Amino acid sequence: MSGRAPARTAFHKENRDVPLDLVAIVALVGYAVYKQTQVSEVTERGRFKLALIYGIVGLAVGGFNLPSGVGGWSMLAGSLALSVVIGLMRGHWTRMWRAADGRIFKQGTKLTVGLFIGMVVVKFGLGTVSHFTGIDDGEGFGEVMVMMALMIAVQAQLMWLRAQRMGAVPAARQQQYAVTR
């Protein structure tokens, strides 16, 4: 380590309350698991709502440090890649079906819930490794929330693409059909 203080973004929070962060993460993970297990319609609008909530919470409440050094930036790149890969896997393996009225529905499976929880556990594991090895990865509550937001956004987009292949109509075309009918 160079002895320099890590770079700080405008979103960095000093004097973090770690137990409060853990409670918030557990609550948000619990909410996400609950939402995944519920049947819901796949629509174009609002598909990024949960990802935006996680991202805003991560930046506004959690703070975010920039990593330093090759190890820190490598950890960040690995976290980004993990979020994208898990988002793609979950988007592919989320159960989806077309109802009799033509609407597309989705519901998470044990596998997709397990992938989500597994990603959170791996993120904490990476943070623990970086802490004990002295790598300044900039990770914290905010970073975990932003990485979860990225995973959820990737999953939501892939599920919307799958829904379109199943016959879902984008909102703009739905409005156009309603006007011409």
According to DSSP, residue 6 is labeled P
Q: State pTM to two decimals.
A: 0.79
Distance linking the first and last C-alpha atoms of the chain: 67
2-11, 42-51, 161-170: least confident range: 2-11
Residue-wise pLDDT for 76-107, tens only, equals: 899 899 999 999 999 999 999 999 998 999 99
Across the chain, what does the average pLDDT equal?
Answer: 82
**Residue burial 21-60, b: 16+ Cβ < 10 Å; e: rest:** beebbeebbeebeeebeeeeebbeeebeebbebbbebbbe
**pLDDT at residue number 164:** 94
Phi, psi of 75 (to 5 degrees): -60, -45
3-class DSSP state of 99: coil
HSE on the CB side for 142, CA within 13 Å? 21
| Residue ranges of E strands in 9-126 | 40-41, 95-98, 104-107
| Cα angle: 164, vertex 115, 86; to 5 degrees | 55
**pLDDT at residue number 158:** 97
Confidence band for 63, pLDDT divided at 50, 70 and 90 = low
Residue 39: what residue type?
A: V
Summarize the confidence of residues 38-62 as an average pLDDT. 88
**pLDDT at residue number 137:** 80
**pLDDT at residue number 7:** 44
C-alpha–C-alpha distance, residues 2 and 15, integer Å = 23
Question: 16 with 134: CB under 8 angstroms?
Answer: no
- Say yes or no to pLDDT of 6 above 70: no
**pLDDT at residue number 10:** 38
β-strands 104-107, 95-98 pairing: antiparallel
Nearest to 142, CA basis, from 36, 67, 71, 33: 67
